[in-house]
Amino acid sequence: MLRTRLLISYLLLILLPLLVLGTLFYRLSLGIVTDQAQDNFYQIVRKNNEIMDVKLRQIDGISSTLFTDKELFRIFNELNPARSEQLLEADRRINAILAQRFAQTEDLFAYQIWTSYFKFGPQNMPQGDLTESHIYKEAKLAGGRLVWNPTYDFAEMFNQPWLSEAVDYDYRYLFTATRLLNFSYLDNSTMANLDADVERPVLAISMKADLFQHLFEDSIPAESNYFVVSSNGSVVAHSDQSLITEKIRDQWVYDLLEKGSGTQRLKLDGKNMLVVFDRSDVTGWLSVVVIPERVLVEKMVPVILTSTITIAAFLALAAVALGYFIFSRMTGPIKHLMVAMRFVGEGDFHAKVEAKSNDEIGILIHKFNTMNDRIRVLVNENYEIKLREQQAEIQALNFQMNPHFLYNTLNVMNWVALENGQRELSKMLLCLSNMLHYTTRKDWDAVHLSEEINWMSNYFYLMAIRFEDKFTVHYDIEPALYGYTVPRLLFQPFVENAIIHGFEPMESGGLITITGKSEGNARVFTITDNGCGIAEETITRIMHGETPSVGIANTIARIRHRYGDNSEVRIRSSTDGGTSISIRLPFDTQD
């Protein structure tokens, strides 16, 4: 009898499989714990790099805004280096500008603007002739690109040998970001640039090397080491402070630099080590953590061994007790189930098995029947989805051709306008082309706020011509927010509603104000106008997606889809006092 033979075979073979499985379980568990620990430390290193990159990207973003700072433009364009009173006044004004931009940024040690004739900035360090330093020359050669200089000895970099005799000073080891500032700004429709004879200054932002220490020391186990190395092998940071600024000599480190990111097990000084490493996306520097392998599992080995023995003993007893009961009830229904499964394997999804009991086998049969029905439905749906995907691909190819034709047509029209001296029409065509290129890009998920504002400027220009300067626009956005992303076309539907409907009864004097500020862990953008306002019942329909304005409904839906409950859109309006739309977005760490 099948049931008896199965039961006897089961009881005879239970001990051997349990012994093998117990051994495998022990080794597998040990390997899983090791791999999990390895993955955890890899994620820690990556997360530390991401945290550092966020800070460094913020510095990059803030420093980029200085290019178009009108006050800095005027200071350097009008400054006479030969007059000391002008230098002191310029230093006071530049101090205030830099403090406004960088004072709230954590971890900065110094932020200065260097020229060959003066050093502007709030920090006073004995730097001697700045123009002879390596980092100043690198900034000049970079031509406006932000240059990250690995950690250096301050006394050597700025030729201050007397500092080497000092016991300690807090700016001994620094790493610095430098950028050549070639100021310019848009004055009405004309781009204003620095005079040719004006020296372009260099922005220098310095941080202490122990910034990395705060990231790593609390996140790696005892007996572990960390270091950060630049692409040329210079030590940016190290758990052994005496090695900072030294050159790495070990070949395995240069092998890691070529790989960029991952984990590796090495034998160093006769010990098995786990090496976890990841490259910064901003600086290109490699963060490396070296951990002894025994540290990963030494506390888990007794726990795993005890668990393995306990589980094996429990399984042996349970198998003997339940073996007879299981085999006595499963043979018949399983045979019918196997027949049905064979039919399903051959493509017949109409096969059914009658469930004669409500026990586990009956439930299994019921689930099999349900699964069979769902598979049949899914097969049909998958076929239909593939057809729709093919249609969508064809349609997408057609859509890609249309904007390309439009770009070429607008370009031809622009050149015709220029040849006929119609510069206003040429500018309108250029704005329209930029707007069309922006809206037809593939990456619709999110864009930097600066790109969105640039697109809005083109849009406002065209709308102002269309409505004969019926309205004006004012921006009041915190500079720090330009480094974050927002959903594309975040403001346009609300602004268009204000222009077309809000200012409809007005001949002139319309005002649109777009503000942006930080409030706790969120960004709040507000679009206000002084138009005729929106009725309360219309606002209610808009917030419930019942508005005929597809753009507003789409924008609100995209905000809720991307940020969920962390976002909020409010509309306040009065028939006498205009309209205010408030959009609250969380800070996105991936930005």
DSSP of 115-134: -SS-EESS-------GGGSH
**HEC letters along 291-349:** EEHHHHHCCCHHHHHHHHHHHHHHHHHHHHHHHHHHHHHHHHHHHHHHHHHHHHHCCCC
Mean pLDDT of all residues in 319-335 = 64
Range with lowest mean pLDDT among 144-158, 429-443, 467-481, 494-508: 429-443
Do strands 147-153 and 271-279 pair parallel, antiparallel, or not at all (unpaired)?
unpaired
Mean pLDDT of all residues in 87-110:
86
Instruction: Using the predicted structure, report yes or no on whether residue 99 has a pLDDT greater than 80.
Output: yes
Distances (CA, A) of 451 to 491, 494, 573: 12, 18, 29
Q: What value does the mean pLDDT of the chain take? A: 80
Mean pLDDT, residues 128-134 taken together: 84
Q: What is the CATH number of domain 69-208?
A: 3.30.450.20
Residue identified by tokens 């001949």 is 507
pTM for the structure as a whole = 0.48
* pLDDT of res. 586: 92
Looking at per-residue confidence, does 304 or 434 come out higher? Answer: 434
**123/130: higher pLDDT:** 130
β-partners of residue 582 are 526, 570
Average pLDDT over residues 267-272: 87
pLDDT, position 304:
64
- Parallel, antiparallel, or unpaired for β 447-448 and 271-279? unpaired
Report how far residue 456's alpha carbon sits from residue 498's, in angstroms, rounded to the nearest whole number: 14
**Domain at 214-297: CATH code:** 3.30.450.20
Of all residues in the chain, what percent carry a pLDDT higher than 90?
A: 18
- In terms of Cα–Cα distance, which of 501, 507, 528 is closest to 583? 528
For CA atoms 241, 245, 250, 255, give the dihedral sign.
positive
Residue 298 is predicted with a pLDDT of: 66
Neighbours of 488 (CB within 10 A): 19
As assigned by CATH, the class of the 442-586 domain is alpha beta
For residue range 202-245, list pLDDT tens digits in order: 999 988 888 887 778 777 887 888 999 998 899 999 888 888 88
Mean pLDDT of 314-332: 64
Interatomic CA distance for residues 456 and 464, integer angstroms: 12
Q: What is the pLDDT, as a whole number, of residue 306?
A: 73
Please give the pLDDT value at position 512: 92
d(CA 359, CA 411): 74
When computed from its CA atoms, the radius of gyration of the chain, rounded to whole angstroms, is: 34
Phi, psi of 509 (to 5 degrees): 85, 5
Helix (H, G, I), strand (E, B) or coil at 104: coil
How far is the CA of 293 from the CAs of 25, 234, 259, 296, in angstroms? 20, 27, 21, 5
pLDDT at 442 over 80: no
pLDDT the model gives residue 401? 45
pLDDT, mean of residues 430-452:
75
Who has greater pLDDT, 35 or 392? 35
Average pLDDT of the segment spanning 317-343: 66
User: Are the C-beta atoms of residues 149 and 178 closer than 8 Å to each other?
Assistant: yes
Lowest mean pLDDT segment, chosen from 229-243, 301-315, 392-406 = 392-406
Q: Would you place residue 399 in the very low, low, confident or very high pLDDT band (cuts 50, 70, 90)?
A: very low
pLDDT of residue 323 exceeding 70: no
Residue 387's φ and ψ, nearest 5 degrees, are: -65, -45
Which residues are within 8 A (CB) of 551 and not within 5 positions of it... i.e. 6 or more apart?
Answer: 489, 492, 493, 496
Which pLDDT tens digit goes with each residue over 51-92?
888 888 888 888 888 888 889 999 999 999 989 899 999 999
532 pLDDT higher than 70: yes
For residue 101, give every residue at least 6 positions away whose Cβ sits within 8 Å of its Cβ, in sequence order, or none: 62, 65, 66, 479
Tokens at residue 37, please? 């620990």
Please tell me the distance from the alpha carbon of residue 202 to that of residue 174, in angstroms, as a whole number: 17
Q: Averaged over 335-357, what is the pLDDT? A: 70
Tell me which of 419 and 197 has the higher pLDDT. 197
